[in-house]
Amino acid sequence: MSLKIAFVGVGNMASAMIGGLRASGYASDAIIGTSRNADKHKSIEAKHGVAMTSDNRLAVEQADVVFLCVKPNMMRDVIQDLVDVVRQDQLFISVAAGIELKSLAAWLTKPVAIIRSMPNTPSLVGCGMSGLIANEFVSDSQKQWVSDVFDSFGSHAWVQEEEQMHTVTALSGSAPAYFFRVLEVMIEAGQTQGLDAATSRKLATQAMKGAAAMVEELDDDIAVLRRNITSPNGTTQAALETLEENGIKALFSSAVDACSNRSKELGKEFASE
């Protein structure tokens, strides 16, 4: 039988995970979600076939596993309102950017099992990537269950040091947005050159998907895959030289640094003391 999961704060990220879980066959009656605005509940219930409530405590009371999915600035208040219904046999999984395990533990007040995760929205289509780290109360069997759940909507990686969660955020949590931006810009450029929007979108998207699939499925060095497309003095060389001249390396490495630094700031801004 599926463990009962409560998603506290069903917005973009929780909705993506619920969609991914449901598509992988997780039982609808084993999932309950919460959000304050009851007007949204019907559409979430219709989309994912799961029950919704505005009552966080009611949802948490009946859960074996609680995903904490509110924004980082709301996390402390939301957890503090739950403290007296929290049981030590429950597992808590935060998805919040920046928020440290020790802050979550301090707000939960009891010695409970907590996992800090950093998923991403491609979970909705079974292509998620999630970084994970556990506190000392998480058992091996809970870790296995969590690995299986995150794999059911993509893939996962456990990190050894909590500091590494900032880098996970920069390389996978936020990264789909960078690639969406790259696609937006390329599609617009295609249209500027005369293609219609749909054709431009299909061409650029399929190229991005194909490149990612080659990296994933072949064991080749990525630089070799790039060179295999780049004929001397050909079209690709012209494009790549333009990207280098315009600072692609500095651009992306500074974006990764900015993301990771913001994650660190969020952790400090919303720390337990």
Ligand X SMILES: O=C(O)[C@@H]1CCC=N1
Cβ(19)–Cβ(124) below 8 Å: yes
Give 32 or 95: the residue with its C-beta nearer to ligand NDP.
Answer: 95
CA distances from 76 to 72, 94, 257, 264, 272 (A): 8, 12, 26, 17, 8
Cβ within 8 Å of residue 28, ≥6 positions away = 22, 48, 49, 50
Pick the closest to residue 48 from 81, 89, 5, 95 (CA basis): 5
Pick the closest to residue 181 from 259, 71, 263 (CA basis): 259
Give 94 or 200: the residue with its C-beta nearer to ligand X.
Answer: 94
For residues 213-242, which are near ligand NDP according to CB under 6 A?
none
The option from ligand NDP, ligand X, none interacting with 71 (CB < 5 to 8 A, set by class) reads ligand NDP
Q: Which of 3, 27, 30, 40 binds ligand NDP (CB under 6 A)?
A: 40
Is residue 22 within a helix (H) or strand (E), and if so which, with residue range? helix 12-23
Give 90 or 172: the residue with its C-beta nearer to ligand NDP.
Answer: 172
The option from ligand NDP, ligand X, none interacting with 11 (CB < 5 to 8 A, set by class) reads ligand NDP
Q: Does 115 bind ligand NDP (CB under 6 A)?
A: no
Q: Which of 5, 79, 95, 133 binds ligand NDP (CB under 6 A)?
A: 95
Sequence ranges of the binding site for NADPH: 56
* Site residues for ligand X per CB under 6 A: 97, 169, 173-174
